C-alpha cells in the first residue's frame, strides 16, 4: 500500500497561504461605510469555486489580510463578490479599492450552509446587519431551486434604513412569489414604512412549521443567540438551527489558533455551526 501511494503521481495542491491576484472590476457603495467589490481572477489565476457560507482571506497589499465572507452567486465562480464594511485599517483600505486595482485572495475556507439538509421542509433565514452578505449565496442557491423547499421566510434586520445592504435586490426578493421577506430596523424616521424592532420581534409573524424548519442565522452573536433561543422556544430543533460564527481569523486553515472557539477553530470547523453544538458555548462569559 505504501509503495502504491508513493507511486501515485503528485497532485498540484494549491498553496493555501499564497494569495492569488484578483482584479477589482466594480465597486458599489452599499451604505456610508460598506461597499461591495466584484473581483475577477487575473490571467493565470483559476476561478474560485466555493460553497455558500464560505469565506476568503482578502489581502490588501501591503497592509495585510482579513477574512471576508463570499457574498456572490456560486454559479458564477469567475466573479467573486465580497461585501466589506470599513471597520479597521485593512477593511478601510479595501473599501477604497477601485476598479483596476489588484487584491490578493486566499480561499475559499470554512464550512458552508447545509442547504441540502433544509430541503423537504421549511426554511427560515434570519440575518442581522452585515449578516446578510454571507447568506446571499445561500439565498441565490435556494431561490434557484425553489421547488426543493416548502415555505421560505427571510427576516433581515439592520440599524436603520440607510444601513440596509443590497437595497435594490431586497425589493426584488420581497416582490418574488414563494418567499416571504420581512425587513426591520432598530430605529427610523417617518419616511420608513416598514417594521422597527429586533429580528426576534418578527419571529411570531412567521408561518413556518417549527418542527419541520431549518434555520440559518447570521449576524452579531447576541442577535443569533437571542434568535436561536426564540426558535428553540418555538419548537425548531436545535440541530436544525445553523449559525455563522465570527472570530479573528489569521491563517484560515486551523493552524494558528487565533479563531479558537472552545474545542473548535472557526476557520476550519466553521464558520457555520449547528446550534446544538455551540449553544452551551454561547452562554459562556468568555470563550
Partner 1 sequence: MSGHVRSDPPLRVADHPFFQGADPAFVERVGHHATEATWEAGEFLFHEGDPARSFYLLFLGKVALELGAPDRPKLTIQTVGPRDVLGWSWLVPPYRWRFDARAVKATRALVLDAEVLREAFEARPEDGYWFLLRLVPVIGERLEMARLQILDIYGV
> Where does this chain bind partner 1 (CB under 8 A)?
128-130, 157-159, 163, 186-190, 192-198, 200-201, 204-205, 219-220, 222-223, 226
DSSP summary character for residue 225: H
Nearest approach, Cβ of residue 54 and partner 1 (Å): 23
Nearest approach, Cβ of residue 137 and partner 1 (Å): 21
Nearest approach, Cβ of residue 224 and partner 1 (Å): 10
Q: Rounded to the nearest 10 degrees, what angle do helices 221-234 and 275-282 cross at? A: 120
- Per the document, the length of the chain is 287
Q: Distance (Å, rounded) from C-alpha 98 to C-alpha 27?
A: 6
Element (DSSP H or E) covering residue 98: none
| Of 38 and 67, CB closest to partner 1 | 67
| Of 32 and 177, CB closest to partner 1 | 32
Q: Using alpha carbons only, how large is the chain's radius of gyration in Å?
A: 19
Cβ-contact 20, 103 below 8 angstroms: no
| Of 41 and 157, CB closest to partner 1 | 157
Q: Which residues pair with 282 in a beta bridge?
A: none
Nearest approach, Cβ of residue 31 and partner 1 (Å): 11
Nearest approach, Cβ of residue 186 and partner 1 (Å): 5
How distant is the alpha carbon of residue 168 from its chain centre?
19
| Of 200 and 264, CB closest to partner 1 | 200
| Of 43 and 204, CB closest to partner 1 | 204
Give the number of other CB atoms < 10 A from CB of residue 168: 8
Amino acid at each position: 500500500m505504501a509503495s502504491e501511494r508513493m507511486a501515485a503521481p503528485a497532485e498540484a495542491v494549491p498553496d493555501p497561504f499564497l494569495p492569488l491576484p484578483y482584479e477589482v472590476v466594480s465597486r458599489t457603495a452599499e451604505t456610508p461605510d460598506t461597499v461591495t467589490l466584484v473581483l475577477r481572477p487575473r490571467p493565470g489565476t483559476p476561478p474560485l469555486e466555493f460553497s455558500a457560507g464560505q469565506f476568503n482571506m482578502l489581502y490588501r497589499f501591503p497592509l495585510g489580510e482579513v477574512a471576508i465572507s463570499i457574498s456572490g452567486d456560486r454559479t458564477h465562480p469567475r466573479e467573486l463578490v465580497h461585501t466589506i464594511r470599513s471597520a479597521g485599517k485593512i477593511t478601510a483600505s479595501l473599501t477604497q479599492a477601485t476598479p483596476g486595482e489588484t487584491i490578493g485572495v486566499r480561499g475559499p475556507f470554512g464550512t458552508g450552509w447545509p442547504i441540502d439538509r433544509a430541503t423537504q421542509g421549511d426554511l427560515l433565514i434570519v440575518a442581522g446587519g452585515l449578516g446578510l452578505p454571507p447568506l446571499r449565496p445561500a439565498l441565490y442557491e435556494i431561490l434557484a431551486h425553489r421547488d426543493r423547499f416548502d415555505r421560505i421566510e427571510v427576516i433581515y434586520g439592520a440599524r436603520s434604513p440607510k444601513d440596509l445592504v443590497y437595497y435594490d435586490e431586497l425589493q426584488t426578493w420581497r416582490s418574488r412569489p414563494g418567499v416571504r421577506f420581512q425587513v426591520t430596523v432598530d430605529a427610523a424616521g417617518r419616511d420608513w414604512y416598514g417594521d422597527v424592532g429586533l429580528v426576534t420581534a418578527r419571529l411570531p409573524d412567521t408561518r413556518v412549521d417549527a418542527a419541520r424548519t431549518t434555520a440559518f442565522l447570521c449576524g452579531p452573536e447576541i442577535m443569533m443567540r437571542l434568535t436561536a433561543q426564540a426558535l428553540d422556544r418555538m419548537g425548531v430543533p436545535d440541530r436544525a438551527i445553523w449559525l455563522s460564527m465570527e472570530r479573528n481569523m489569521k491563517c484560515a486553515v486551523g493552524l494558528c489558533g487565533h479563531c479558537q472557539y472552545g474545542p473548535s477553530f472557526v476557520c476550519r470547523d466553521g464558520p457555520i455551526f449547528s446550534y446544538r453544538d455551540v449553544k452551551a458555548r454561547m452562554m459562556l462569559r468568555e470563550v
